[in-house]
Structure 1
């Protein structure tokens, strides 16, 4: 089909129809936010908003950056969520009839991102407080915001939403941290698994709502890395989670992707069991630990989203080396690919390399 727009190209890839050409969808938000904050945007982009830069590059934005806020969490009666921000830190506190939980995040140098340095769960004694919070939450879909974002993006991108980390990943990444979380899992497995069941109950309502929304693609924002979620943990906790939720979403006519942005070589053999339709942000060697050939074999014809290591956009990689990698990526995965950067363009990455890759993709066509 000739003359497709980016929404049509996206759905053609997921539906395994032939798009008119491949889609170039680099994630530029972090690059833009940092360079804007420190006053180092390229001169030609001074005064541009991010969508104007995407248009100039003939590239597509990843839509979950615009649509994630359309599903909102409503705290239950008796739960107060307090937040305080200063120049260096973000303080978040839940106050409930069962007790309080606090989290501290350190803001990055330019205030564009943050890192958890103190987690909500300090010990097993805090589990009951978190259970109370989760059991009393509800979710709403903001259709007005969805419509607003759809008008804003137009034909640039297919609407897409990311659901938060699932199961054991949420326990480690959001609530307890890896070190304390692993110790708790070792010493208090029953209590941890009881808490994971409450995560599932909380997710039941979230996914029931998402199944009714207009989104045709749902992304699992799980940040999978085999160093944090080893094969035994992945097999025990993540595979049942993926199987259940992908089955529910498929029954609602939706496609499922997941954000596996770490080292995943030992986890790839499990991919066919997950029910996922695509993997997002997998970094190949040298940034990750998988080759393109290993990734293709594991995907078995499913879709790859992204695929170019972010490190290839830094100064030490020549334009020629980047070009050769992109051609090899396209030869390996076309047409089952939405090309992007694994994971995102670094603040000191070259925007001219982004432009160059877009040109390579247009010249390549579809094979």
Structure 2
């Protein structure tokens, strides 16, 4: 029996037999800011149309709520100083201030992150995080008309709605100088965990809003790669990532929904920890030389407990001929026959103007994976 992408997706997530390995091209049905608008690009539009009813579509959306209470005043200003365009973002609370800066000149761009010193971390810990469910619900409700319109537009047989709501580590990673961040993993673990504990209260309220309303069937957790080796050690990963992700996955499962975790990079050392976190699937396993773990090695660790989403590197879409792409897809599917495996590119369509070869390789990927 030939399955629809939706049937194939959920049987695969459940670990049940499917008619063939699912394929996922990563871009959602509705436009999203992190990728090119595939509806309004002639080449990507060909891929989008060809994927309908064949590849799994996860219609990824990301409603959001403010991290801090309104008492934290956030402002942004751009000025010209000595011929350079300088943009500063300020976070102020109770007489304390954190400032990030971007300086653009003809010679390039320099940036100062919001958090660069131990004193900055102390200031951050003094900022009140928004934890009031009433306030969080009110902010999210404002975004529901657009979300519900996107859900209504999405043909259900193509796959499922997927929410990407974040994890507690996100703000800290995105706003800290990376050298400082790595040092804090050795010197300020308790302080960082105090911030994460407070951020987690807010995060669970956001998930609760979505889960109570049955907004989506799949949840995409993208924080695990933000505090992992080689930037920090495995012990830090187990402190800053694992317990929070485990709780969020448990919340998702308690409402009968599914969780997919996202990770790019060197995963071999920490792969057992993904079993501890308990998601239904992991995207993505990048084989050497990009990553440090082959798909066969990954399956030796996780067995059938976790669905693995593995990939053809995006650079291959640029460099291979369509025939080579077809052979690469067939080789990977043959190698993993009988495994709980989903095929995908390593990245979604982020190039605004790809050459024709990229488009032809997307089509070759589809034909090889889905026919």
How high is the TM-score relative to the length of structure 1? 0.78
Q: Which residue in the other structure is 1:112 paired with?
A: none
What's 1:78 paired with?
71
| Separation in structure 1 between the aligned mates of residue 285 and residue 110 of structure 2, nearest angstrom | 23
CA distance in 1, matches of 2:369, 2:207: 35
Structure 2 SS opposite 1:82: strand
Partner deviation per Cα, 1:95-136 (whole Å, 9 max, x = no partner): 3335232334689xxxxxxx9933222323233543424246
Counting only pairs closer than 5 Å after superposition, residues 158-237 of structure 1 correspond to structure 2 as 158-167=160-169, 170-171=171-172, 173-214=173-214, 215-222=216-223, 224=225, 225-237=228-240
State the 1:360 CA deviation.
Answer: 0.8
Cα distance change, pair 13–178 in 1 and its aligned pair in 2 (3 A):
same
Assess, with a 3 A threshold, how the Cα gap between structure 1 residues 200 and 346 changes in structure 2: closer, same or farther: closer
- Separation in 2, partners of 1:288, 1:91: 36
Greater shift in the superposed pair: 285-294 or 148-157 = 148-157
Aligned to 1:68: 62
Q: Is 1:130 equivalent to 2:132 in the alignment?
A: no
Say how many residue pairs are matched.
341
Aligned to 2:368: 360
Residues 1:94 and 2:91 aligned together? yes
Matches within 5 A, 1:1-367: 1-2=1-2, 4=4, 6-27=5-26, 48=42, 53-58=47-52, 59-64=55-60, 67-69=61-63, 71-73=64-66, 75-83=68-76, 91-104=88-101, 117-131=111-125, 132-135=127-130, 138-140=135-137, 141=140, 142-155=143-156, 156-167=158-169, 170-171=171-172, 173-214=173-214, 215-222=216-223, 224=225, 225-301=228-304, 302-315=306-319, 317-331=320-334, 332=336, 336-345=340-349, 347=351, 348=354, 350-363=358-371
- On the 8 A contact 1:16/1:336 being kept in 2, the answer is yes
Secondary structure of residue in 1 paired with 2:74: strand
In 2, distance between residues paired with 1:97 and 1:202? 21
Distance change in 2, residues 1:46/1:219 (3 Å): closer
Is 183-192 or 260-269 further displaced after alignment? 183-192
Aligned counterpart, 1:111: none
Tell whether the 8 Å contact from 1:313 to 1:345 is kept in structure 2 after alignment: no
C-alpha contact 2:100 2:114 (8 A) present in aligned 1: yes
CA distance in 1, matches of 2:59, 2:147: 11
Contact kept in structure 2, 1:13 and 1:335, CA below 8 Å: no
**Whole-Å separation in 2 of the counterparts to 1:34 and 1:271:** 25
Distance 1:34 1:221 in 2: 13
Structure 1 residue matching 2:300: 3-state secondary structure: helix
1:61 Cα shift?
4.6
Contact 1:79/1:133 (8 A) holds in 2: yes
Question: CA offset at residue 195 of structure 1?
Answer: 2.2
Superposition CA RMSD, Å = 3.6
CA shift for structure 1 position 139 = 2.4
Alpha-carbon separation, structure 2, partners of 1:206 and 1:35: 24
TM-score by length of 2: 0.77
Residue 159 to residue 84, structure 1, CA distance change in 2 (3 Å): farther
Cα distance change, pair 62–3 in 1 and its aligned pair in 2 (3 A): closer
Q: Where do 5+ consecutive residues of structure 1 fail to align?
A: 108-114
Cα deviation 1:307-332 (Å, max 9, x = unaligned): 222232121x4444433332233231
Query: SS in structure 2 opposite 1:253?
Result: coil
Instruction: Name the CA distance, whole Å, in 1 between partners of 2:69 and 2:34.
Output: 36
Cα 1:16/1:341, change in 2 over 3 Å: same
